[in-house]
């Protein structure tokens, strides 16, 4: 794996984890649709016993995921939320978690309505503007970061968080949800994070036909615990979905470059549009953490959040008028999507928390796809004009 880590990213995306099939020479990893493996004698097998524990298609994907994140160990899961849940299983009753205040609604829901009821303690902190050190307690065992965050696209200084965490006696684990940036633009393990999480449903698969998750780490002990939990909890990615994600990853570098190129141009045009109040995109110099983004990312991604002028009627009209952008939850596919976080992806976040975060009725989130830029702009401009 370490040799692969030195290779260019796009080479790793095509090749890591994928070897010609040993029995046929097939260049593509087959879909090993099997639940179990025949043994020659009890305990004498070819490295696979049961597909919850290990499956060759899933293993190829796990090796690919690890290589992309410059990590040693990858785990492919049934969803991004399964990955969040698995990380919570690393903790014990009474442990304290500091989470960035703006996280995906499903992550916040899992924290607030499931794990808080099992004795974990959560604080949601604006880590883009508040010092982590002020919130660490003796029982703080994990710091949870999304960067860019969903949906407000805040950028958290990952290295600074890692350094602060390391100084504290409790040495909380730093987990980074890297779904929005992808390893193409940001590699949290290289910045010192302990675990990277992905909803592979998004950019890694990239074709909106899979729900999946991933965890990657470099730490041998942590990997052993995650492997134990993965097998015990059983939220594994099936072979067909593993194969789809593995296939999607091959074009990750090409797709991400295009997502970013179009998103940057669209963000600039939106910023100048009469029907737009303000735009949040880490690549704009107006973004409050633009300098941090430039420091820790090699690009700014394909997600844009903006406030439309007016009220809920205007954002509704805009979203109803779109023809090329699909009005749908999720993101990171080749096709462009638009959504209303307050009503859709972040509806489960308590209203007063949404208000504090700025997730208002006029907030709209775009996932810029890889279609022709002028076609996308025609769609957005037309819908914006019709929204007034
Ligand atoms: O949907 P799932 O694969 O379980 O992933 C959850 C998840 C985790 N982390 C981030 C940053 C996410 O954005 C998500 C899922 N997000 C959406 C469905 C969405 O539209 O924002």
Q: List pLDDT tens digits, range 40-49.
A: 999 999 999 9
What confidence tier does 264 reach under pLDDT thresholds 50, 70, 90? very high
Q: Give tens-digit pLDDT for 307-349.
A: 999 999 999 999 999 999 999 999 999 999 999 999 999 999 9
Active-site position among 95, 157, 177, 194: 177
Assess whether the C-beta atom of 213 lies below 6 angstroms from ligand 1: yes
Clarify whether residues 234 and 275 are in a common domain. no
What was the pLDDT predicted at 7? Answer: 64
Domain that holds residue 304: 253-387
Name the pTM for this structure: 0.97
C-alpha–C-alpha distance, residues 352 and 371, integer Å: 37
Q: Copy the structure tokens of residue 199.
A: 């909803």
What's the average model confidence in pLDDT over 80-84?
98
Q: Domain ends where: 249, 274, 295?
A: 249
Of all protein residues, whose CA lies closest to atom 19 belonging to ligand 1?
330
Residues 87/197, Cβ–Cβ less than 8 Å: yes
β-strand partners of 363: 307
- The atom of ligand 1 lying closest to the CA of 103 is 11
C-alpha–C-alpha distance, residues 268 and 104, integer Å: 25
C-alpha–C-alpha distance, residues 269 and 256, integer Å: 20
Q: What is the rounded (10 degree) CA torsion for 20, 47, 78, 1?
A: -60
Clarify whether residues 134 and 212 are in a common domain. yes
CA of 329 to the centre of ligand 1 (A): 9
Clarify whether residues 272 and 240 are in a common domain. no
Q: What is the rounded (10 degree) CA torsion for 379, 385, 386, 388?
A: 140
What was the pLDDT predicted at 65? Answer: 98
Assess whether the C-beta atom of 330 lies below 6 angstroms from ligand 1: yes
Q: Give tens-digit pLDDT for 92-121.
A: 999 999 999 999 999 999 999 999 999 999
What's the average model confidence in pLDDT over 239-262?
98
Looking only at the bridges linking them, the beta strands covering 276-280 and 213-217 are unpaired
The SS3 call for residue 40 is: coil
Clarify whether residues 331 and 343 are in a common domain. yes
Clarify whether residues 288 and 378 are in a common domain. yes
Q: Any catalytic annotation for residue 202?
A: yes
Q: Domain ends where: 217, 249, 281?
A: 249
Q: Any catalytic annotation for residue 104?
A: yes
What was the pLDDT predicted at 5? Answer: 54
Q: Any catalytic annotation for residue 123?
A: no
Clarify whether residues 81 and 124 are in a common domain. yes
Residues 128/282, Cβ–Cβ less than 8 Å: no
Assess whether the C-beta atom of 63 lies below 6 angstroms from ligand 1: no
Clarify whether residues 376 and 340 are in a common domain. yes
Clarify whether residues 180 and 54 are in a common domain. yes
CA of 331 to the centre of ligand 1 (A): 8
Clarify whether residues 226 and 107 are in a common domain. yes
Of all protein residues, whose CA lies closest to atom 3 belonging to ligand 1?
80
CA of 106 to the centre of ligand 1 (A): 7
Clarify whether residues 181 and 302 are in a common domain. no
What was the pLDDT predicted at 2? Answer: 41
Of all protein residues, whose CA lies closest to atom 13 belonging to ligand 1?
104
What confidence tier does 1 reach under pLDDT thresholds 50, 70, 90? very low
**Local structure of residue 77 (DSSP, 8 states):** E
The number of distinct structural domains making up the chain is: 2
Pocket residue to mutate for ligand 1, from 104, 241, 329, most atoms within 8 A of Cβ:
104
Closest to 183 measured CA to CA, from 12, 69, 304, 32: 69
């Amino acid at each position: 794996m370490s040799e692969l880590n030195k290779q260019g990213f796009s080479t790793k995306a095509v090749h890591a984890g994928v070897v010609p099939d040993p029995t046929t020479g097939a260049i593509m990893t087959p879909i090993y649709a099997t639940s179990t493996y025949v043994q020659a004698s009890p305990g004498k097998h070819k490295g696979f016993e049961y597909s919850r524990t290990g499956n060759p298609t899933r293993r190829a994907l796990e090796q690919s995921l690890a290589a992309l994140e410059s990590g040693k160990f990858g785990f492919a899961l049934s969803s991004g939320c399964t990955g969040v849940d698995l990380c919570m299983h690393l903790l014990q009753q009474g442990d304290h978690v500091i989470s960035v205040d703006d996280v995906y609604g499903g992550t916040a829901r899992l924290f607030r309505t499931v794990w808080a009821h099992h004795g974990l303690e959560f604080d949601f902190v604006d880590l883009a503007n508040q010092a982590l050190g002020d919130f660490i307690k003796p029982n703080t065992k994990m710091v949870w970061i999304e960067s860019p965050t969903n949906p407000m696209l805040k950028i958290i200084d990952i290295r600074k968080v890692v350094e602060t965490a390391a100084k504290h006696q409790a040495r909380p684990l730093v987990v980074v949800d890297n779904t929005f940036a992808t390893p193409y633009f940001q590699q949290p393990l290289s910045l010192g994070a302990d675990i990277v999480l992905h909803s592979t449903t998004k950019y890694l698969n990239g074709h909106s036909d899979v729900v999946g998750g991933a965890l990657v780490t470099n730490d041998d002990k942590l990997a052993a615990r995650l492997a134990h939990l993965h097998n015990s909890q059983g939220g594994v990615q099936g072979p067909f979905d593993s194969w789809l994600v593995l296939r999607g990853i091959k074009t990750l570098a090409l797709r991400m470059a295009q997502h970013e190129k179009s998103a940057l141009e669209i963000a600039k045009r939106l910023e100048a549009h009469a029907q737009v109040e303000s735009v949040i995109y880490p690549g704009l110099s107006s973004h409050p953490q633009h300098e941090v983004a430039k420091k820790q990312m090699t690009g700014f991604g394909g997600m844009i959040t903006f406030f439309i002028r007016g009220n809920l009627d205007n954002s509704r009209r805009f979203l109803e008028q779109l023809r090329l952008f699909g009005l749908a939850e999720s993101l990171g596919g080749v096709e462009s999507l638009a959504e209303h976080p307050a009503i859709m992806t972040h509806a489960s976040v308590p209203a007063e928390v949404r208000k504090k975060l700025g997730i208002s009725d006029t907030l709209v989130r775009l996932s810029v796809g890889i279609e022709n830029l002028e076609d996308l702009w025609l769609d957005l401009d037309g819908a914006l004009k019709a929204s007034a």
